[in-house]
Amino acid sequence: MKSLPRFLCALLLPALVLLVVACSPKNAETSLPPDETSPFVGNAACEPCHAAEFTSHQKTRHMATMQEATRAGLGALAPERGQIPGGGMLSEQQGRFVINDLPLQLVLGSGKTGMTFIALADDSCTEIQTSYFPHEKLWRTTPGQEKPKAVADQVGRIVIGQEAQRCLGCHAVTLPENSLQVERRFFGVGCESCHGPGREHVATMGKGEKPAKLAIESLKGAGGEQLNTLCGSCHRTQDDVGPLSKSTNRFQPYGLSLSRCFKESKDKLTCVTCHNPHEDAGTDPKPYEKACLSCHSAPKKACPVNPKEKCVGCHMPERPAFEVGDTPTKMADHFIKIYRANR
């Protein structure tokens, strides 16, 4: 409740008496004052001392996975106004997108494939029923909303309580307690999503003396189990999907954990063996092949079919991420194994 942005207050105040309490004069004057009680500080606080990590992270889809639902914020990814096929009328009010009469605040998804618009309320949000695919300039049913709507004039699924917190929580660094109003500096997967809260580290390092402790998660040399759990808090582990899920390609920590490569390499195979955590997934196959060959080289463990190259296409094939619906997203299966023709 405590950190409603100004535009929301302006729109809702006449209707919702309750909100008067939330819009204290302090919040109404400045944009959003930093919450000094939060142990999180935001990426910008890391830049002065870790410029290299900051600069490369800034360009990632992790960074862009939560955006403001404004034309200016979305830039080239912004959709055209007008009737959305099967999904209401998209318009703009002062640069902010609106569906029918519902103002939209956030967009989830970097635009690599699909982006889903979100309308925020106090302790719930509406996940709009059609998602936008900017590279094709197409709208498609949002995954999970394939079933006919219960209420005809509803523009999407209303997500409440814990589920709403989780939905935004996987696309942001931290949320205020009991509120869905994410501060701008916490948009997207940030440094502190992986390294943990940074306030104490920043304060300690700022003093310039050799500190007794780092006061942040280093993650350097972290093992396979630790990173599967960390990355899996968003990308999902076996605990989230159940033992019989076929989604080994959509949920990489889950897929990887089933692989003999993972199980039989004594915690050495991690997400970071193949990915730089401060960059997007590379699309050049060579570095991945190099990683495979670091464990599978002649004479002993080489591939009888192709010992040199093209490993990924055969042992981590790309498959559609969603089993139902028409979302075209494809992902590399992280269950590394021998795929026979009929699977």
Interaction residues for ligand HEC, span 20-39 (CB under 6 A): none
Question: Could you tell me how many residues of this chain bind ligand HEC (CB under 6 A)?
Answer: 102
Q: Which is nearer to ligand HEC, 19 or 293 (CB)?
A: 293
CB of 97 to ligand HEC, least distance (A): 15
Residues 6 or more apart in contact with residue 92 via CB below 8 angstroms:
71, 81, 98
Q: Which of 78, 235, 241, 248 binds ligand HEC (CB under 6 A)?
A: 235
- Taking contact as CB under 6 A, which single stretch among the options 5-13, 17-25, 68-76, 272-280 is the one that binds ligand HEC? 272-280
CB of 242 to ligand HEC, least distance (A): 14
Question: How far does Cα 41 stand from its chain's mean position?
Answer: 19
Whether 113 contacts 124, CB under 8 Å: no
- Taking contact as CB under 6 A, which single stretch among the options 9-17, 46-54, 148-156, 177-185 is the one that binds ligand HEC? 46-54
Q: Which residues, 276 to 295, sit near ligand HEC by CB under 6 A? A: 277-278, 280-281, 283, 288-289, 291-295
Q: Which of 12, 45, 78, 99 binds ligand HEC (CB under 6 A)?
A: 45
Q: Which of 2, 6, 50, 319 binds ligand HEC (CB under 6 A)?
A: 50
Whether 275 contacts 57, CB under 8 Å: no
Determine if 65 is a binding residue for ligand HEC (CB under 6 A).
Answer: yes
Q: Which two structure tokens, joined as six digits, stand for 251?
A: 């949920």
Residue type, 317: P
Whether 87 contacts 102, CB under 8 Å: no
Q: Which is nearer to ligand HEC, 20 or 314 (CB)?
A: 314
Nearest CA among 132, 106, 122 for reference residue 2: 122
Distances (CA, A) of 46 to 126, 272, 275, 307: 33, 21, 21, 43
Whether 62 contacts 189, CB under 8 Å: yes
75: left (phi over 0), alpha (psi -120 to 50) or beta: left
Q: Which of 246, 260, 290, 343 binds ligand HEC (CB under 6 A)?
A: 260
- Taking contact as CB under 6 A, which single stretch among the options 25-33, 68-76, 81-89, 262-270 is the one that binds ligand HEC? 262-270
Q: Which of 59, 246, 268, 290 binds ligand HEC (CB under 6 A)?
A: 268
Determine if 299 is a binding residue for ligand HEC (CB under 6 A).
Answer: no
Q: Which is nearer to ligand HEC, 8 or 189 (CB)?
A: 189
Distance CA 180, CA 119 (A): 10
Residues 6 or more apart in contact with residue 125 via CB below 8 angstroms:
118, 119, 158, 159, 164, 167, 168, 180
CB of 247 to ligand HEC, least distance (A): 9
Q: Which residues, 145 to 204, sit near ligand HEC by CB under 6 A? A: 159, 166-167, 170-171, 189, 191-195, 198, 201-202
Q: Which of 308, 324, 326, 343 binds ligand HEC (CB under 6 A)?
A: 308
- Cis check for the bond before 317: say yes or no (omega within 30 of 0): no
Whether 269 contacts 263, CB under 8 Å: no
CB of 143 to ligand HEC, least distance (A): 8
Q: Which residues, 318 to 337, sit near ligand HEC by CB under 6 A? A: 329, 331-332, 334, 336-337
Determine if 54 is a binding residue for ligand HEC (CB under 6 A).
Answer: yes
Q: Which residues, 92 to 131, sit near ligand HEC by CB under 6 A? A: 108-110, 112-116, 127, 131
- Max Cα distance, the chain (Å): 75
Q: Which two structure tokens, joined as six digits, stand for 156?
A: 């999407």
